[in-house]
Amino acid sequence: MNREVLEDFTTDVFVRLFQQLQQYDINQNFKSWLMRSAHNLFIDMMKHEIRYTLTDNLPDKEKKWHQEVENEAYNRLLHIPPPRK
């Protein structure tokens, strides 16, 4: 990933957090909430990156195969545990 993509990611995390701030439960650990939100956004971003990077200019048959691979990768990413304290 290049610097521009990481800067966009950072901005997206803070925008998402700001939008969800009213949903934050003050009984939760703020750092854990922040890390979980960043983790989820990263998974969303990687799903998007995988889809468009791998399938640019491919024939339809290969795009279908890549979609299946992407779905498997996405499902595995969903099961990555959040960062530990």
1-31 pLDDT, tens per residue?
A: 577 777 877 888 888 888 888 888 889 898 8
Q: Is there a contact between 69 and 77 (Cβ–Cβ < 8 Å)? A: no
- For residue 56, the model assigns a pLDDT of 62
pLDDT at 53 exceeding the cut of 60: no
- For residue 36, the model assigns a pLDDT of 85
pLDDT at 45 exceeding the cut of 80: no
- For residue 52, the model assigns a pLDDT of 58
| pTM for the model | 0.49
**Closest residue by Cα to residue 41 from 1, 6, 2:** 6
